[in-house]
Structure 1
Amino acid sequence: MAPGGACWRGGVVPRGFKRWLSSSSSSSSYGPAPRVCVVGSGPAGFYTAQHILKHHGGAQVDIYEKLPVPFGLVRFGVAPDHPEVKSYGAEDNRVLGIPGENLSGVYSAREFVGWYNGLPENRDLKPDLSCETALILGHGNVALDIARILLSPLSLLRKTDITDGSLAALACSKVKRVWLVGRRGPLQVAFTIKELREMINLPGARPVLNPADFMGLENAVKDAPRPRKRLTELMIKTALEKPGEKTLAAQAATPREWGLKFQRSPQEVLPTADGRRARGIRMALTRLEGSGDSAKAVATGDVEELECGLVLSSIGYRSLPLDPAVPFDTQRGIIPNSSGRVEGVPGLYCSGWVKRGPTGVIITTMNDSFDTAQSVLEDLQVGALDVSTSREGFGAVESILRSRGVRPISFSDWEKIDAAEVARGKAAGKPREKIVDPQEMLRLIGH
C-alpha cells in the first residue's frame, strides 16, 4: 500500500481486497490530491473518511470492505429492534478459557448476534433453543440485547429487519427464562439505563431481582455520577418495590422471566450424560475487593451450579492482528498508536476498537474517528506525509485484482442488493429482508 495516508479499522485483514467504495476525483488548491485508503466500512471507517473529506477539499478516499455489502457492524452488530444504536465492532470475541466451552449449546455473543442480524459467516449457526433456561455471561448492553431478543414477543420482532431464518427459530424457541450473570456486583454493571428500562418493560417477561443484592446500595451511590446513580436506583426500585395486586396478577400470567445474578465467575460448562451438550454451568462465588469501577472479583472458594441448556458468552469483543508488518498489542487487543498514528509505521493510522479497545457506543466511535482523521490532516499540513508524487489508489489495486481474477463490487452494485432487500422486506412487512448468502448477492448483481 502506498497511499498518502491510511486508516485501518477493527481488525479487517488487508490482503486480497475485494470490495471498494470511492469518493470522486477532484482537483484542489491544496496541491497534489492525497489518496487515503480506509480499510473497513463500519462506523469508524466512514466517520474517519467523512472528517477527512469535509476538512480537506482535495483528498480522495477509497474505502475497502471484505464483504459484498458496506457498513460493517452498523448492519450486523446490534439487535434488529435497536436500529438507532448499531454500534459494535471488532473481528473476534474473548474466550472464556474454561472446560466445556466448546460443548454444543455454548455460543459467543458475537456469533449469536451475527446469526440474528444476518452476518454471512454466522448464517448456518442453527442454535438449539429447545431448553427452558438460557444463561448469558456478561452485564453489558449486548447481553441485554440477546436476552431481549430471546424473550421478545414475535409480534415485535416481525416488525424489524431480523432475518427470516432467525425469526423462524425463535418462533419454535422453548426458552422462557434468561439469567444474566456477572463476576462483580450491581454497582459495576456495564449496561445503560435505557436498555435496562426497556428490558424491565418488555411485554410478556417479568424481571426477577434478588432484594438481598440491593440492600444498602442507596447510600453507596449517593455521590456516584448521575448515570450510575440513576441506573442503580432503577435496579433497587425494581428489586425492592412491592408490586400492587394488578401487577402481581399480570406477573403470575407472564410466561417468561429474566434476572440478574451477581458475583459469580464461570468455572466450567457442565456436559450432558453423553458428553456432547451443555446442561448447566458451575460458577465460583466471588467477593469484591475495592469499590466502584475498579473493584475486583476474588473467588471465595464456594461454588454454585445452575441448570441451563444454552450458554451465551458476552464478556467482550477483541480485534485481531492485521499483518506482521503492523504492530499489535495482544494483551490489550489494539494497535499501539498515538491519536491514531500507528507506532513505528509512518503514514499508517487506526480508528475504532482496534485503536482504543472494545468500549463505548456510536458517539464514542464518531469522536474517536474524528480524532484519527485530525491526525491525518495535521500530518498532511506539516508535510509529514509524502504526497508529492501521484498515487494511483484504487487504479493500482484494481490491476492487482484483475490479475488475480477478482472482480470487485462497487457501490452501485451494493445499491442493487439494497433495493432487493428492501423490496423483499416490504413484501413481508419489514424494513428489509437481509440476504445472508454472499453467493446469492453476487448472482443478484450478475457476478
Structure 2
Amino acid sequence: MPHVVTQSCCSDASCVYACPVNCIHPTPDEPDFLTAEMLHIDPQACVDCGACVSACPVDAIVPESKLTDPQRVFLSINADFYKEERPRPLLAKVIPAAHVDKGRPPLRVAIVGSGPSAMYAADELLTQPDVQVNVFDRLPVPYGLVRAGVAPDHQKTKQVTRLFDKIAAQKGFEFYLNVEIGKHISHSELLENHHAVLYAVGASSDRGLGIPGADLPGTASATDFVAWYNGHPDHADDVFDLSHRRAVIIGNGNVALDVARILTADPEKLAGTDISAHALAALRKSRVEEVVIVGRRGIAQSAFTVPEFTGLMALPDIELSVGPDDMVLDSATEELAKRGELPHAVEQKLRLLEALKNRDHVDVGNKRITLRYLLTPTSITGDDQVSGIEFARNALVDANGTVQIEATGDTETIDAGLVLTSIGYRGVPITGVPFDERASVIPNENGRVLEAPNGDPATGVYATGWIKRGPSGFIGTNKSCAQETIRMLVDDFNDGRLTNPVADDSAVDRLVRARQSDVVDREGWHAIDKAELERGAAHDRVREKVLDQVEITSILDAAARVKPARRFGRPVRAR
C-alpha cells in the first residue's frame, strides 16, 4: 500500500530527497514546484518504505492503511496528479548548498526577520563551517507567521518550528529579538558589522477595499483578526464585535478559510490549542452563527488551496454550502475541462465543490459557512457600526483568452455585523532599504537587492521570502527561495564583492545591548519557550503565549539568575 500526502503538507520538499525511488513530485527543480499547492506521492511507484514519513517536518505523510475517513480523499488527489506520465530521473536532482570559500575571513550575515524564509536562509548558510548568522526581529519571540499566522487548530503545520529550533541550535547562530531595525540599530550599522544583510520580513500590510464605509467600526482586515487570535503582541488589545449572527469575509484564500473556521468552531475544541486567552474568551461569548466567504470571480478561480478546502469539508460540526447559482464556469475553463486539460489543482477544486453542492444536507447545529462567488463589494453600510455590505453581481467573460469579470447591473446586500477583508498582502518599506512601491517588494534580481527597480545591485543587501517575490507560495516554498538568494550572496562573498565588517562580532552585540536592554537572545528565547509550554501544560493547552513585555522581562531575569548566559567569554544577563 502506498503512502499519501495529506492536508498539512508544507512543501519544503524534505520528503523528496528522502525518497529512494523519486516518487514525490513536483520536485524543487521542476517548473510546477513553485505553483503546486502540495506535493504528491505516485501510488504506482511508491515502495512503501516510509523514509518520507520521518523526513516530513509536519507529519503530513500517512500510510494508506492509517488514513482516517476524512483523509481518504487524498488518495485520489495524490493519484490524479500522475494521470499524465511525468518524465523523471531515478532520483530527484539534489540542489547543492552554496560553498563558502575557506580562504576568506569567516562569513558573517545579518538576517532581518525570523519567520520561515529567515530560518531556511540561516540553515542554508550554516551548512558551511565558521559562518556566523545573527537573526534580528522586532518581536520578542521568533518564527513569524508560523507562530502568529498559522491557525491554532493546525498544530501539525506549527510543528515545523521543531525544525527551526534545530536550526537555531546550530553553532554560529544567534537571535537578537525585540530589536527593531531603524530604532535600535540602523540598516547602515548592520552593513558595517556584517558582510551582508538579508531581509526576510514578509508582507505585513493588507490591501484595502477602497470603498465607502470601509473605515466603519466592525470592518477590519482578516490579517489583524488572525494576529489577534494567535496572540501577536501588536494585536493583544484589539476588540472585534462578535455580537451579530453573521460575519462576511471578502476574499476566498486560505486565510479566509482559517478565519471562517475559527469563527464557527466550538471554542472548547480550541481551548487546548495555543489560541490566545483573550480571543478564546471572546469566542466563547460570540453570537456569530454564519460566515459568508465572498469571491468576485468564479469557482474555477477560487484562491484557497485543495488541502485547506478538503480539511474544511471534513469538519463534522459545521454546515458548509455553496450557492447553486454560483456554480458557474467560464468558457475557457469549460473548454479545458472538455479536453481533459485542466490544471490539477483546478480540477480537484471543481470536483470538491461539485461534491459539496450535491451532498445531502445534514443538520449539524447552528454554525454555517457559506461560499459565494461573482460578487464585488461596492459599499459597506451602517451609521456608526457595520450593518451590512452591498455587492455588484458579476458575469464571467472571455477577453482574448483571459477570464475577466464584468458587472451585470444586479446588486445584492448581505446583512452582517463584522466584515473582514482578505484580498492580498503588501510588503512595507524599511528605512534605508530600497523599495518598489508598485510591486510592494524590495526590488531584487534572484535575491540580490537593487538600488531601484531595474537598477544596479546594492552591495551586500539581499532579500528572500514574500518581501522578495511577493505573497505567494507556502511555508516550504521559502526553502527553495532562500537557497536561490544564498547562492547569490555566497557567490558575491567568494568573488570579493562584499565589504568586510569594521569590527568583530562582539561589536554588534555591544551596540544592540547598549540601545535595547530588553534584547532577547537564543538563551532568552529558550526561557520564554519553556515558560509558555509549562503554563500551557498546567492548563491542558499546547502552550500559553506570553504577550506582556513586563512579564517577558521577568521570565528573562529569572532565567538569568538561575543560569547566566555567556557570550564572548563573559557572563551577561540573558536579556
8 Å CA contact 1:401–1:407 kept in 2: the answer is: no
Instruction: State the match for 2:309 in structure 1.
Output: 196
* Structure 1 counterpart of 2:427, from 319, 339, 364: 319
1:291 and 1:362 mapped to 2: Cα distance? Answer: 34
Cα RMSD, aligned residues only:
2.3
2:266 and 2:400 mapped to 1: Cα distance? Answer: 36
Secondary structure in 1 matching 2:544: coil
8 Å CA contact 1:188–1:292 kept in 2: the answer is: no
C-alpha distance 39-303 of structure 1, shift in aligned 2 (>3 A): same
What does 1:195-234 align with in structure 2 at a 5 Å threshold?
195-214=308-327, 221=337, 222-234=340-352
C-alpha distance 330-410 of structure 1, shift in aligned 2 (>3 A): same
Secondary structure in 2 matching 1:61: strand
Residue 396 of structure 1 and its aligned partner are, at CA, apart by 2.8
Instruction: State the match for 2:23 in structure 1.
Output: none
1:164 and 1:193 mapped to 2: Cα distance? Answer: 31
What does 1:219-298 align with in structure 2 at a 5 Å threshold?
221=337, 222-239=340-357, 241-243=358-360, 248=361, 251-271=362-382, 275-290=383-398, 295-298=403-406
Instruction: State the match for 2:216 in structure 1.
Output: 103
Residue 407 of structure 1 and its aligned partner are, at CA, apart by 4.1
Secondary structure in 1 matching 2:387: strand
Q: Deviations over 1:121-160 (max 9, x none)?
A: 0011121111100100111000000001111122321221
The one-letter code of the counterpart of 1:281 is: I
8 Å CA contact 1:200–1:207 kept in 2: the answer is: yes
1:284 and 1:267 mapped to 2: Cα distance? Answer: 7
1:408 aligns with 2:519: yes
Instruction: State the match for 2:66 in structure 1.
Output: none
1:381 and 1:293 mapped to 2: Cα distance? Answer: 47
8 Å CA contact 1:154–1:171 kept in 2: the answer is: yes
Residue 341 of structure 1 and its aligned partner are, at CA, apart by 0.2
Instruction: State the match for 1:36 in structure 2.
Output: 109
1:314 and 1:177 mapped to 2: Cα distance? Answer: 17
8 Å CA contact 2:319–2:364 kept in 1: the answer is: no
The one-letter code of the counterpart of 2:504 is: E
Instruction: State the match for 1:80 in structure 2.
Output: 152
1:293 and 1:94 mapped to 2: Cα distance? Answer: 27
8 Å CA contact 2:380–2:386 kept in 1: the answer is: yes
Q: Deviations over 1:389-432 (max 9, x none)?
A: 66434x33333334436342211111111111001111111110
The one-letter code of the counterpart of 1:314 is: S
8 Å CA contact 1:49–1:373 kept in 2: the answer is: no
TM-score, normalization by structure 2: 0.67
2:129 and 2:401 mapped to 1: Cα distance? Answer: 44
Instruction: State the match for 1:159 in structure 2.
Output: 272
The one-letter code of the counterpart of 1:309 is: G
Residue 288 of structure 1 and its aligned partner are, at CA, apart by 2.5
1:434 and 1:407 mapped to 2: Cα distance? Answer: 18
Mean Cα displacement is larger for which, 183-192 or 221-230? Answer: 221-230
What does 1:3-402 align with in structure 2 at a 5 Å threshold?
29-54=102-127, 56-85=128-157, 89-214=202-327, 221=337, 222-239=340-357, 241-243=358-360, 248=361, 251-271=362-382, 275-290=383-398, 295-323=403-431, 325-344=432-451, 345-387=458-500, 391-393=503-505, 395-402=506-513
1:242 and 1:353 mapped to 2: Cα distance? Answer: 38
2:237 and 2:282 mapped to 1: Cα distance? Answer: 12
Secondary structure in 1 matching 2:394: strand
Residue 53 of structure 1 and its aligned partner are, at CA, apart by 1.4
Count of aligned residue pairs for this structure pair: 407
1:253 and 1:339 mapped to 2: Cα distance? Answer: 50
Secondary structure in 2 matching 1:328: coil
8 Å CA contact 1:91–1:320 kept in 2: the answer is: yes
8 Å CA contact 1:44–1:366 kept in 2: the answer is: yes
The one-letter code of the counterpart of 1:234 is: L
Mean Cα displacement is larger for which, 152-161 or 292-301? Answer: 292-301
Residue 300 of structure 1 and its aligned partner are, at CA, apart by 3.1
2:227 and 2:320 mapped to 1: Cα distance? Answer: 26
Residue 349 of structure 1 and its aligned partner are, at CA, apart by 0.2
Secondary structure in 1 matching 2:480: helix
Residue 30 of structure 1 and its aligned partner are, at CA, apart by 3.5
2:409 and 2:235 mapped to 1: Cα distance? Answer: 38
Q: Deviations over 1:10-49 (max 9, x none)?
A: xxxxxxxxxxxxxxxxx99443112111111111111111
Q: Deviations over 1:63-90 (max 9, x none)?
A: 1111111112221012111134359942
Mean Cα displacement is larger for which, 216-225 or 140-149? Answer: 216-225
1:360 and 1:94 mapped to 2: Cα distance? Answer: 18
C-alpha distance 407-133 of structure 1, shift in aligned 2 (>3 A): closer
Identity among equivalent positions (%) equals 38
2:279 and 2:223 mapped to 1: Cα distance? Answer: 15
Q: Deviations over 1:183-211 (max 9, x none)?
A: 11101011112211221222221112122
Secondary structure in 2 matching 1:315: coil
Q: Deviations over 1:270-329 (max 9, x none)?
A: 01xxx2110000112222333899533333333211101011111111110112x32211
- 5+ residue gaps, structure 2: 1-99, 161-200, 452-457, 558-574
Residue 367 of structure 1 and its aligned partner are, at CA, apart by 1.1
Secondary structure in 2 matching 1:445: helix
1:441 and 1:407 mapped to 2: Cα distance? Answer: 9
1:319 and 1:294 mapped to 2: Cα distance? Answer: 27
The one-letter code of the counterpart of 1:369 is: A
Residue 355 of structure 1 and its aligned partner are, at CA, apart by 0.4
1:382 and 1:405 mapped to 2: Cα distance? Answer: 35
1:169 and 1:142 mapped to 2: Cα distance? Answer: 20
Residue 382 of structure 1 and its aligned partner are, at CA, apart by 2.1
